[in-house]
Each structure stands twice: as C-alpha cells, then as structure tokens.
C-alpha cells in the first residue's frame, strides 16, 4: 500500500531527516533569491545532452541524457490504419471543398477531416515499474493529452498541414489515417520526477519524425513514395534558407513541452531535483506550445501533481519533545502542535496561493521567459 502511494506521488521520497527537510525548505523559500542545493538559479535547467534520429528503424527518435545520468530514448512509429467512420461523416459539400483543396494545392488538405485523439498512443517504460502502474500511466496520459489537444490556430505559411493540430495531420483521407505510437524508454531508475526529461525527449523525437510522402490523391487507397529521402516531416518546417530570416522560428508549429515547476514559499523554481520536490508546497506540470499566428507562447494545460512532501515525517519541536521537557522554558503553552515552529519541519498539507500560481504561469509564458528559452534551446539541437 505504501509503495503504491509513493508511486502515484511525484517521486519516491528521498531519505532526508526532518531537520534536513526544514533546512532545505528554508533556503529554498528565502525571499527573492532562493539558494538551491546545486547552486542553480531558480529558472536554470540542469545541463543535458541530446541527439535525434538515432534509431534507423523508427519514423523519428531522440535521446536526452541529463548530467546526473538519467537518460530517456523515445521512438515514434507510424502505421496506416483504416478509419472507422464516425456518425458525423462529412456532407458532400465539404467533400467537394476537400477535393478542390487537393487539386489546388496538391496537398493533403487535412483541414477537411478532423482527426481523433486516440490515433496517438503513448506508452512509457520505466525500469522497476510495470506497464500499468500508476506513474507510467499518469505520465503518458498527461503528455498525450497536451499533444493531442494542441491545435494550431490560423494558417500562417507552412502551417496549413497542421490546421487541425497533430490530430488533423494524421488524416490521410476520409478512409485512412496514420496511427502514431510514441514509445518512451527511461533507461535508469528515475532520480527525480521524470516528466521534464520525458517531455523534452518526446518533443525532439516528434520534431524528427518523418512520414512517407503520399503519392495517391483524394479518396484512393493510400500509396506512398518508396524514397525515404522524399519523406515529409510530421511537423512541417518553413523552408526559408534565407539567412536574414534565421531569427524566425524554423518550425511554424511545434509539439508542446511540459515543464515541471514547484513553489516553495513565495518562490517559483524550475526543473527541480528530487530533494527540491520533496519540500515543495505545490508541484505543477505546465504544458506550453508556440502558436503559429503569434510570437507568444500558448498555455495548453496545467496539472497539479501530488507533492511528495505530504508523505514526509514531521519534526518535533523542542516544546513537545518528551526528552526535552524541562529544558525548554514554557512547555505548557503548546496547544495541538499544528502551527509552524521556526526550524521544525511540518509535512506540507497542500494548497498554494493564487498569486504564486499566476507568477508560475507568467514566468513560463512571458516574453523571454523560461518557455521560450527551453524551446529555443531545443531548436538548437540539430535535427537532420
């Protein structure tokens, strides 16, 4: 039972004494400038190494390794599948439009048919966990829903194929569609909550994912180009080879990134390690993506994650400690022992101020904020 509780919670609670927890909490909650155990600034990420297109047998793949040795490998595979027609099939008018679009642009015209979220399947392998344990299932669903839910608005250049979001991109024609399998492999026991690692790796793998070029048109059975060199990226790229435009994002639409943010006191801290999560007041998973029509980032989802600080052992203030009775001045004043005593650890009972959440979101989304920084950093990874 207790192991199950731990698995569903943010991560295994590290073996820290109440005194250590209290020390960590105090230094992390220092007003304005928290002191983190590894000396990072609140918005600084751990260094990581990344590479893409590492597995020749997949449509797209990526590997990311943190400096502490946790590594994840993501492989994306796509299969063609027959669409089971839903009740709300298209009427002939929109079908005609669909055909027009095809003739005019020679493109897939995926805007005419909307995709289904279940075409994207995600599974996460974590050593030491079964497939159907709470942690892998929760993580995969959390990442899948933001992936499926991200719909790009407007049709700026290059974003035409992505008009229906990822779901729309998977439509081949009315009767056929792609099914996307995203398999995430964590290569070592998670040292911290693995969500940011898995999310960044999935992001890179999806960016490197290619689908074979469609040769058939319209409602024919799909027929693809044999040449893998002609394959098209799942997330299309704007082919601006002009160096003067290099400032513009090379991907009009990008898969979402889920960031892990914790609040300690009034402070907002990014990419927490295991010890930092253990004293967090609140743990949030924030999914963002770049919308195609504007420069700013778009918030897709916020999920709160059960903070493991709930499960830690409380410290006992001197006033309540049986061994210390007599040594302290006035033991009789203490009531229920529920209030905070300076320097004594109390398990967090959850709850966070609205202002703190607002600041968390603002730090992620703001101009030049953490979200942009992460996306830019990922863009720097060479995707051949």
Neighbours of 311 (CB within 10 A): 17
Q: CB 94 → other proteins: shortest distance, Å?
A: 32
* DSSP one-letter code for 247: T
Q: Is 77 in the site for other proteins (CB under 8 A)?
A: yes
Query: Which residue in the set 23, 29, 45, 55 belongs to the binding site for other proteins (CB under 8 A)?
Result: 55
Stretch that binds other proteins, among 39-47, 54-62, 277-285, 313-321 (CB under 8 A): 54-62
Q: Which is nearer to other proteins, 61 or 173 (CB)?
A: 61
Q: Taken in order 152, 150, 291, 161, is the CA torsion positive or negative?
A: negative
Query: Which residue in the set 132, 226, 242, 342 belongs to the binding site for other proteins (CB under 8 A)?
Result: 132
Neighbours of 77 (CB within 10 A): 17
Stretch that binds other proteins, among 29-37, 69-77, 241-249, 278-286 (CB under 8 A): 69-77
Torsions phi, psi for 255 (to 5 deg)? -65, 155
Q: Which is nearer to other proteins, 102 or 191 (CB)?
A: 191
Q: Is 185 in the site for other proteins (CB under 8 A)?
A: yes
Q: CB 251 → other proteins: shortest distance, Å?
A: 23
Q: Is 191 in the site for other proteins (CB under 8 A)?
A: yes
CA 56, CA 59: separation in Å to the nearest integer? Answer: 8
Q: Is 69 in the site for other proteins (CB under 8 A)?
A: yes
Q: Is 187 in the site for other proteins (CB under 8 A)?
A: yes
Give the CA diameter of the chain.
Answer: 90
Q: Which two tokens stand for residue 258?
A: 């889920």
CA 335, CA 90: separation in Å to the nearest integer? Answer: 69
CA 117, CA 313: separation in Å to the nearest integer? Answer: 42
Please enumerate in sequence order all residues whose Cβ is within 8 A of that of 276, keeping only pairs 6 or more positions apart, or say none.
24, 28, 36, 37, 262, 264, 269
Per-residue mark of binding to other proteins, 262-301 (x: CB under 8 A): ----------------------------------------
Q: Is 79 in the site for other proteins (CB under 8 A)?
A: yes
**How many residues line the site for other proteins (CB under 8 A)?**
29
CA 131, CA 31: separation in Å to the nearest integer? Answer: 42
Torsions phi, psi for 114 (to 5 deg)? -95, 145
Alpha-helical segments (H) within the chain:
2-8, 18-28, 92-105, 134-149, 165-169, 195-207, 274-277, 354-365, 370-379
Q: Which is nearer to other proteins, 75 or 255 (CB)?
A: 75
List residues bridging with 290 in a β-sheet.
Answer: 297
* DSSP one-letter code for 103: H
Query: Which residue in the set 12, 22, 53, 61 belongs to the binding site for other proteins (CB under 8 A)?
Result: 61
CA 338, CA 315: separation in Å to the nearest integer? Answer: 12
Stretch that binds other proteins, among 122-130, 149-157, 283-291, 331-339 (CB under 8 A): 122-130
Stretch that binds other proteins, among 8-16, 33-41, 55-63, 141-149 (CB under 8 A): 55-63
Q: CB 61 → other proteins: shortest distance, Å?
A: 7
Neighbours of 106 (CB within 10 A): 9
Q: Is 127 in the site for other proteins (CB under 8 A)?
A: yes
Q: Taken in order 162, 166, 170, 171, is the CA torsion positive or negative?
A: negative
Q: CB 132 → other proteins: shortest distance, Å?
A: 6
Q: Which two tokens stand for residue 139?
A: 């993580």
User: Is residue 90 within 8 Å of residue 98, measured between CB atoms?
Assistant: yes
CA 317, CA 341: separation in Å to the nearest integer? Answer: 7
Q: Is 56 in the site for other proteins (CB under 8 A)?
A: yes
Query: Which residue in the set 42, 75, 109, 196 belongs to the binding site for other proteins (CB under 8 A)?
Result: 75
Query: Which residue in the set 51, 68, 306, 373 belongs to the binding site for other proteins (CB under 8 A)?
Result: 68
**Distance of alpha carbon 57 from its chain centroid, rounded?**
25
Stretch that binds other proteins, among 26-34, 141-149, 183-191, 263-271 (CB under 8 A): 183-191
Stretch that binds other proteins, among 10-18, 185-193, 284-292, 315-323 (CB under 8 A): 185-193
Stretch that binds other proteins, among 28-36, 106-114, 120-128, 344-352 (CB under 8 A): 120-128
Which residue ranges make up the site for other proteins (CB under 8 A)? 55-58, 61, 65, 67-71, 73, 75-77, 79, 123, 125, 127, 130-132, 181, 183, 185, 187-189, 191
């Amino acid at each position: 039972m207790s192991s199950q509780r731990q698995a569903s919670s943010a991560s295994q609670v590290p073996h820290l004494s109440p005194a250590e927890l209290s020390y960590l909490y105090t230094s992390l909650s220092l007003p304005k400038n928290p002191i983190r155990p590894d000396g990072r600034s609140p918005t600084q990420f751990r260094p990581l190494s990344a590479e893409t297109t590492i597995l020749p047998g997949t449509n797209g793949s990526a590997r990311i390794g943190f400096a502490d040795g946790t590594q994840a490998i993501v492989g994306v595979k796509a299969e063609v599948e027959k669409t089971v027609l839903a009740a709300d099939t298209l009427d002939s008018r929109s079908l005609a439009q669909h055909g027009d679009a095809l003739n005019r642009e020679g493109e897939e015209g995926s805007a005419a048919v909307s995709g289904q979220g279940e075409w994207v399947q995600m599974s996460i392998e974590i050593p030491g966990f079964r497939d159907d344990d709470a942690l892998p299932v929760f993580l995969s669903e959390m990442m899948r829903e933001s992936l499926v839910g991200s719909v790009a608005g407007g049709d700026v250049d290059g974003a035409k194929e992505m008009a229906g979001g990822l779901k729309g991109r998977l439509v081949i024609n009315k009767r056929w569609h792609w099914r996307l399998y995203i398999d995430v492999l964590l290569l070592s026991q998670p040292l911290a909550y693995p969500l940011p690692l898995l999310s960044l790796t999935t992001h890179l793998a999806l960016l490197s994912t290619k689908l074979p070029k469609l040769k058939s048109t319209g409602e024919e059975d799909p027929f693809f180009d044999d040449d893998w060199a002609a394959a098209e990226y799942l997330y299309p790229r704007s082919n601006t080879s002009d160096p003067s435009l290099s400032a513009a994002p090379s991907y009009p639409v990008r898969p979402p990134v889920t960031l892990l943010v914790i609040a300690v006191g009034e402070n907002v801290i990014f990419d927490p390690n295991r010890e930092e999560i253990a004293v967090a007041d609140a743990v949030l998973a924030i999914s963002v993506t770049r919308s195609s029509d504007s420069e700013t980032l778009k918030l897709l989802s916020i999920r709160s994650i059960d903070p493991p600080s709930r499960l830690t052992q409380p410290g006992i203030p001197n006033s309540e400690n049986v061994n210390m009775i007599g040594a302290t001045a006035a033991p009789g004043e203490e009531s229920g022992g529920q209030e905070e005593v300076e320097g004594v650890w109390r398990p967090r009972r959850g709850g966070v101020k609205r202002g703190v959440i607002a600041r968390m979101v603002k730090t992620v989304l703001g101009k030049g904020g953490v979200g942009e920084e992460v996306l830019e950093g990922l863009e720097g990874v060479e995707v051949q």
